[in-house]
Amino acid sequence: MGGVSAALTAVAGAADGSRTAWLVVPWLAAHATYAAAAWLVLRKGARLRLAWIIAIGILPRLILLPSSPRLSEDAYRYLWDGRLVAEGINPFRYAPADPSLARYHDALLTRLNHADVPTIYPPMAQLLFGAVARTAAEPWAWKAALLLLEAVLVLALLALLRGRGAPRERLLLYVWCPLPIIESFGSGHVDLAAAAFLLFALALLERRRAAWGGAALAAAALVKYMPLLLLPALLRRREYAALAAAAAVGAVLFLPFYAAGPALWTGLTTYLRHWEFNGSAYALLRPLFETGVAPRAILAGLLAAASLAIAWRARTTTGATLALFAAWLVASPTVYPWYLVPLVALLPLHPNAGILAFSGLVALSYAPLAAFRADGSWMLASWIPWVEYGGWAAVAAGAGWWRYRRTEACATESTPT
């Protein structure tokens, strides 16, 4: 079963998206096989050697690592930013197409999307890009760095599982999942780096290493900003030392780039104002308003309220993280498949049938890629989000009902007659 999932994942990761079926069919088949293996581990208590789980998981990663990204050009933007950082140029100050960067305008520029927008990637991501560019400004080098960071993620997961007394076989829920393999080692998305720092931070915080945990959390938030949603949960748990360390490290990470001034936020502001794709709540609200400003503001407010409610009710920091990231996906106007990588990384700690299902169904959002490759058009069919998010909701509801019936049955059996 593991070998079948690995092979199908490698096939999907090698697809270029020019034919939707060649990408989506093997991806969904790989995910179905992976889901069956997860069910055997979670429900049937299947025992597997840890070395076997890791070996099966690493195979498609190594197959895809030397390949050029085919489903997204984001990795080329990382290499562009990294080359500027390595040259001592602040990537927040200039869009790639800026004439002042003319001496860098080569074949790499032609691979970039949105070359008229300055970088949106935060300082820690920039430092990672720069470190890789100093070695080799090539996609394989960046993906090799991701593989090293993923080793940290796996070790953090094992430590967290051990601390809970949970079986190590649960690692399979992350290591065998097709989504992080395809998105990280096929396309090279940076979200895996954010997930690695995040899981490392959570492991340190559970071991009461507040300062180091806060430092790792700052690194995660400054690869992708979403871990900032954890601030209310950490305040609720009085993790003041961790927050102080995170603030200090965050300030240090911004220092190499602070000279950009307000331009630090130009790319991010452009993204927040204009990007929209494959959202759920936003897609429902958007037709009710003349522009996207109001629905974005409404959803931002609801997400802030949700973060406070989750901070108050969640029993663990890892549980709060899972709930917060899921809420962010629902509220976000833009949901690309790689945004789910941190959520999938949390599944071994908090198995969630709905999120597991969504991490497979989100492959459908690549359906417009074939038309884009052919004629430059980009339009997601209206039925796809209904299948993606409806599948998430339906599976989550079914799992909740099953747990309720099981609890009720156990209560009935334990009642004296």
The C-alpha atoms of residue 321 and residue 230 are separated, in whole angstroms, by: 7
- Residue 88 neighbours by CB under 8 Å, 6+ apart: none
**Full-model pTM:** 0.95
The answer to whether 365 and 72 have CB atoms below 8 angstroms apart is no
Q: Domain-by-domain residue ranges, the chain?
A: 2-414
The C-alpha atoms of residue 137 and residue 145 are separated, in whole angstroms, by: 12
The answer to whether 129 and 85 have CB atoms below 8 angstroms apart is yes
Written as tens digits, the pLDDT of the chain (417 aa) is: 778 989 999 999 998 888 888 899 999 999 999 999 999 988 877 788 899 999 999 999 999 999 999 899 999 999 999 999 999 999 999 999 999 999 999 999 999 989 999 999 999 999 999 999 999 989 999 999 999 999 999 999 999 999 999 999 999 999 999 999 999 999 999 999 999 999 999 999 999 999 999 999 999 999 999 999 999 999 999 999 999 999 999 999 999 999 999 999 999 999 999 999 999 999 999 999 999 999 999 999 999 999 999 999 999 999 999 999 999 999 999 999 999 999 999 999 999 999 999 999 999 999 999 888 888 788 899 999 999 999 999 999 999 998 888 877 766 665 665
Q: 238-244: long-range contacts (C-beta < 8 A, 24 or more apart)?
A: 239/205, 239/210, 239/213, 239/214, 241/210, 241/211, 241/214, 242/205, 242/210, 242/211, 242/213, 242/214, 242/217, 243/214, 244/214
Range list of H helices, 110-189: 123-135, 139-164, 172-175, 178-181
